[in-house]
Structure 1
Amino acid sequence: MEHANKALAKVPEVTLAFWIIKIAATTLGETGGDAFSMSMGLGYLMSTFIFAAVFVVAVIAQIKADRFYPALYWVTIIATTTVGTTLADFADRSLGIGYAGGSAILLALLLASLGVWHRVMGSVSVSTIASPKAEAFYWVTIMFSQTLGTALGDWTADSAGFGYTGAALIFGGVLLLIVLAYWFTDISRTALFWGAFILTRPLGAVVGDFLDKPVANGGLAMSRYGASVALLMFIVVCASLFRQRPARVAH
């Protein structure tokens, strides 16, 4: 029993600080992805290849690590959200699938990833991530969720006509409902976690767009480079101030 109590995962304990950093990381993914694809003029496809390479290297390093390293974990999260931004934009805009079509396809892929993960491992709870196979499922699922979040955020803000602030209020409101469900209902904590994890991405996407899109389009017209650097510094400060503990593994 003592050994079980000391067993730790290589993913962080889910706390308020975790969610603050997660939202900042997803916002950085939007501004950083747009900085490469638009400001640098690399385009969606080339930017996707670059971030995908970073994502693969980071995931391999994460899986091979002997314990939880906060810096490595958050670098991997940022890699998933930047590749999610450029991949979703490539599918939605360059391939002409559209926001609704892209969101539907990515939602299907996300649900399939969660379904296969549950069938193979028996659970999709963070507390069960204690093997390379479980970690691989975790990161693939996160990558799909980050990509879906970009498409869903763009669809809500643009196609649905809510704008960046309206979309942010919608996603923020739904996240608030999840928080209330956590405190006042018996709904599965695992289901609530993934619901919150998925919805923080479109929230970050619309907040990122609000920061760097032109004023005429409802944004603040901030520099994508400046916004990205500011968000990165915020993440570093938060990760330094709030101790990141590894999640305990359920046995």
Structure 2
Amino acid sequence: MEVNENKLKIILSKVPEVTIFFWIIKILCTTVGETFADFINFNLGLGLTATTVIMGIAFFIVLFFQFRATKYVPSIYWLTVVLISVFGTLVTDNLTDNIGVPLETSTIFFSVLLGLTFLFWYLSERTLSIHSIYTRKREVFYWLTILFTFALGTAVGDLFSEQLGLGYLRTGITVIIIIACVYLAYKFLNLDGVLAFWIAYILTRPLGASLGDFLSQPNANGGLGLGTTVTSVIFLIAILAIIVFLAITKIDTNPKSEPVETNQSNRSKKNVLTQTIVVLCIFLAVVIGGYVGLSNNIASQAGSTQAATLSGQLTDFINIENDMLNAVNSKDFATAKKGADNLEHQWDTAEPKLRKIDSTTWVQIDGTIDVVLSAVRSGSPDANQCKTALNDSLSTLNGANKSASQSDSSQTTTSGGNASQNKLAGQLTDFVNIENDMLNNVNSNDFASAKKGADNLEHQWDTSEPKLRKMDSKTWVQIDGTIDVVLSAVRSGSPDASKCKTALNDSLSVLNGANK
């Protein structure tokens, strides 16, 4: 009678058996959650908020059908997992990018939510086994847990791989090592199976994200360069193929010989509780120790630059965005998209140091860069939107770079230093902006505005001559020569667009080089 009851519970179970295919699809779904969200956000240009709303609606629709199903249906179940992986990722991304919640806070927040879900689930049902998902209440607990594991995995993965500079590849390798240790503990040290399962389930999120970024990132950034579109398509096809295989073979629905769940003895419960406490202590020690170690490393790097602000730290990003703006003005969106890849990679790489120096300003700039990436990577980029996004981002970058540079300059002067010993780094941003505006005008054949820009450029350049020439006379003379060529080309009676562009690009190249 008990055996028949267990078989009935298996038949009614709404989740698959844990086989090798379960873990393969789980990792594939996690990878798709990372790349597909980026595809919709950036490639389709919908933006983070719209992407979250769309994927949230899709997720809840599919979840409705999952709850309505009377048994495990591979297609519905795994589609729910795919969508919850995307939605869970986007929840954390929204907290970080749109609201400005630090990843440390998100990690603690979702850890608490996950812990409370486990606690209430166990207090209510006396089990956390996924083999026991055959009631509505348990299914609610199950999907809440899955959602929080994806959100938590995203927060932890981004915290270590991006903010703390561990990198996606090293993060992925670290996760693989931890999962291997958990498996060995389960196999040889009698680690509780349910505990081992949920640890592995949480850790596969940063593992899948690392795999997704490794495949989609350009070669120059250390990836295979497949892009988010190709990566998403490959993994979705792989998921579909495995789901079809499982639906035909029913290999993940075959009843096991052992009971679905058993009543644990008090001794067994105490043993599991002890294991849970030990595992939590180990994980806290590893996570906190790793966080402190990586943070101290970043602090030492930031300290070595002797920068209390972002002074001189943003010039590379200004140059990249200026190049992208030139590409957009020339309707060369292929080059602009390559610039977007480079911008994203360089910005993510510099995040640990820059965020440590000035977190508030970093978040502000990060938001403008996200808008740039979304506009440029759109399937059909709109030139005006791209220009607006780039100009807004450049304004923020230049403002932060300029104010910081002025602060450094004043500190040097008041400390008795000689201004003539300074280079022109950070002093030329206004002229770069003026010439970029002029270049936009020329590209739009608005020579009247370009000539007004020339008047402004000449006035500002002449006004700043005493200070700049004293700082670096040789470079000043070089720049002055390129500006003269610009003024001559733009102020011509019948300006030639090609000559104006060449003059402006040459001058911008010299200005950006000196400003760096």
Tell me which interval the TM-score lies in, with the shorter structure as reference length.
over 0.9
Corresponding residue number in structure 2 for 1:250: 261
**Alignment equivalent of 2:97, drawn from 65, 78, 93:** 93
Deviates more, 1:208-217 or 1:8-17: 208-217
Corresponding residue number in structure 2 for 1:212: 216
Deviates more, 1:34-43 or 1:226-235: 34-43
Deviations 1:59-113 (CA, angstroms, capped at 9, x unpaired)? 2211110111111110010011000121111111221112222222111111111
AA aligned to 2:241 is V
Corresponding residue number in structure 1 for 2:20: 16
AA aligned to 2:144 is V
Q: For 2:82, what is the secondary structure of its paired residue?
A: helix
AA aligned to 2:131 is S
Corresponding residue number in structure 1 for 2:7: 6
TM-score norm. by structure 2 comes to 0.47
For the structure 1 residues 81 and 247, does the alpha-carbon distance in structure 2 shift closer, same or farther, using more than 3 Å as the test? farther
- 2:33, 2:82 within 8 Å by CA — same for their partners in 1? yes
Separation of aligned partners in 2, 1:198 and 1:164: 16
Separation of aligned partners in 2, 1:38 and 1:85: 15
Residue 139 in 1 paired to residue 146 in 2?
no
Separation of aligned partners in 2, 1:169 and 1:157: 11
**C-alpha displacement of 1:214:** 4.0
Name stretches of at least 5 consecutive residues in structure 1 with no aligned partner: none
Deviations 1:223-243 (CA, angstroms, capped at 9, x unpaired)? 211110100111122233354
Corresponding residue number in structure 1 for 2:169: 165
**C-alpha displacement of 1:45:** 1.9
Name stretches of at least 5 consecutive residues in structure 2 with no aligned partner: 263-516
Report the RMSD for the aligned CA atoms in angstroms. Answer: 1.7
Q: How many residues align?
A: 251
- 1:99, 1:152 within 8 Å by CA — same for their partners in 2? yes
Deviates more, 1:52-61 or 1:188-197: 52-61
AA aligned to 2:167 is G
Corresponding residue number in structure 2 for 1:194: 198
Q: For 1:14, what is the secondary structure of its paired residue?
A: coil
**C-alpha displacement of 1:216:** 4.6
Identity, % of aligned positions: 35
Deviates more, 1:215-224 or 1:171-180: 215-224
**C-alpha displacement of 1:163:** 0.9
Residue 49 in 1 paired to residue 53 in 2?
yes
AA aligned to 1:150 is T
Q: For 1:3, what is the secondary structure of its paired residue?
A: helix
Q: For 1:48, what is the secondary structure of its paired residue?
A: helix
Residue 240 in 1 paired to residue 244 in 2?
yes
Q: For 2:91, what is the secondary structure of its paired residue?
A: helix
**C-alpha displacement of 1:3:** 2.2
Separation of aligned partners in 2, 1:156 and 1:214: 21
Separation of aligned partners in 1, 2:185 and 2:116: 25
Matches within 5 A, 1:68-83: 68-83=72-87
Residue 174 in 1 paired to residue 178 in 2?
yes
Larger Rg: 2
Deviates more, 1:160-169 or 1:240-249: 240-249
Residue 123 in 1 paired to residue 127 in 2?
yes
**C-alpha displacement of 1:222:** 2.3
Separation of aligned partners in 1, 2:133 and 2:101: 34
AA aligned to 1:5 is N
- 2:39, 2:229 within 8 Å by CA — same for their partners in 1? yes
Separation of aligned partners in 2, 1:11 and 1:178: 23
TM-score norm. by structure 1 comes to 0.93
Separation of aligned partners in 2, 1:148 and 1:208: 17
- 1:127, 1:247 within 8 Å by CA — same for their partners in 2? no
AA aligned to 2:253 is P
Separation of aligned partners in 1, 2:179 and 2:254: 22
- 2:129, 2:261 within 8 Å by CA — same for their partners in 1? no
Larger relative CO (CA 8 A, sep 6+): 1 or 2? 1
AA aligned to 1:55 is F
Separation of aligned partners in 1, 2:45 and 2:103: 22
**Alignment equivalent of 1:29, drawn from 21, 25, 33:** 33
- 1:149, 1:201 within 8 Å by CA — same for their partners in 2? yes
